[in-house]
Copies of this chain bind each other. A is one copy, B any other.
Amino acid sequence: MHRVKARVESNAKVVHGVHRLRLSSSEIALEAEPGQFVHVLCGENRDYILRRPFSVHRVQNGSFDLLIQVVGKGTTYLSQLESGDALDIMGPIGRGFEFTGNFEKSLLVAGGIGVAPLVFLAERLREDGKETHFLYGAATREGLVCLEDLSTVVQKVFSVTEDGSFGYEGLLTEFFGEAFQEYNPDRIFACGPEEMLRKVAESTAGTVPCQVSLERKMACGIGACLSCVCRTREGYRRVCVDGPVFDASEIIW
């Protein structure tokens, strides 16, 4: 894990309210694994003082991307950065997805901005020659921000929108069974709202291994403060360094 002053290489508005920030840091780009995150100081502000965690979305040579949904003060600050600005970043942090095991076909399940780390994972799975399918849900067609990127990386994308503006209409979890049937995966990797993760975990319980990436408010982001714990079969565990990716079977929802 490093602490760097990363330079903003570019800040692109993907759709309204979602930005892709490209940050230069060869250390982080080199070491980051899918599912790991970076902990970002959003300005020298003393009003809101905590860093904000964001998944590593993609890596290039010497730089990496964050995919940021604007929801509050910190993300608003990030969305306004310009090329050349510097950002105080710690990372890569945490236990990412475990994808080196013995499996053939995986299904990646992304709810909304939860897609961020799964694009990185999908790229790695393709490099490993695995067959990968994607179940992708959002409120609207606009919300499926990575659809184009994914089309070149995974075999198939099963899209669901709440308003029916693209793909199936409804909640992603309503179609999980159908997608599962269709692709018959032997691994599940999921990231999104906790309610979605819980349902996915319950649907797969006892069938195929399922890994979920959790979110918690974080203070230190490096395992020291114990503020980010989730309930697991082994007691409280820290999402920042014992996760953010957990085997779904460990979690007590």
- Report A's interface with B, CB cutoff 8 A: 45-47
- In the complex, residue of chain B having the shortest beta-carbon distance to the beta carbon of A46: B47
Rounded to whole angstroms, the CA-CA distance of A144 and B45 in the bound complex is 33
Report the bound CA distance from A12 to B46 in whole Å: 28
- A47 CA to B46 CA in the complex, in Å? 6
Counting from the closest, the 4 A-B pairs by CB-CB distance are: A47-B47, A46-B47, A45-B47, A45-B45
Instruction: Determine the chain B residues whose CB is within 8 A of the CB of A47 once the complex forms.
Output: 45-47
Number of chain copies forming the complex: 2
Q: A216 to B118, alpha carbons, bound, how many Å?
A: 56
Q: How far is the CA of A47 from the CA of B47 in the complex (A)?
A: 4
Residues of B within 8 A of A46 (CB): 47
Task: Kindly state the separation between the CA atoms of A114 and B47 in the bound complex, as whole angstroms.
Answer: 31
Q: Which residues on the B side are within 8 Å of A45 (C-beta)?
A: 45, 47
Enumerate 4 A-B pairs (CB-CB under 8 Å) in ascending A order: A45-B45, A45-B47, A46-B47, A47-B47
CA distance A194 to B231 in the complex (A): 61
A47 to B45, CA, bound (A): 7
Q: What separation, in Å, do the CA atoms of A45 and B45 have in the docked complex?
A: 9
Q: In the bound complex, what is the Cα–Cα distance between A45 and B47 (angstroms)?
A: 7
Q: How far, in angstroms, from A46 to B48 measured CA to CA in the complex?
A: 9
Nearest-neighbour CB distance to chain B for A79, whole angstroms, equals 15
Nearest B residue to A73, CB-CB: B46
Q: What's the minimum C-beta distance from A86 to chain B, rounded to whole angstroms?
A: 16
- A125 CB to closest chain B CB (Å) equals 44
Q: Once bound together, how far apart are the Cα atoms of A86 and B10, in whole Å?
A: 27
The closest CB in chain B to the CB of A45 belongs to B47
CB A50 to nearest CB in B, in angstroms, measures: 14
A210 to B46, CA, bound (A): 43
A25–chain B nearest beta-carbon distance, Å: 26
**Closest chain B CB from A45 CB (angstroms):** 6
Measured CB to CB, the closest approach of chain B to A164, in angstroms, equals: 38
Minimal beta-carbon separation of A244 from chain B (angstroms): 29
Query: Closest CB of chain B to A199's CB: distance in Å?
Result: 38
Q: How far is the CB of A91 from chain B (nearest CB, A)?
A: 26
- Chain B nearest CB from A43 CB (Å) reads 10
Report the separation of the CA atoms of residues A46 and B47 in the bound assembly, to the nearest whole angstrom: 6
Question: From residue A18, how far is it (CB to closest CB) to chain B in Å?
Answer: 23
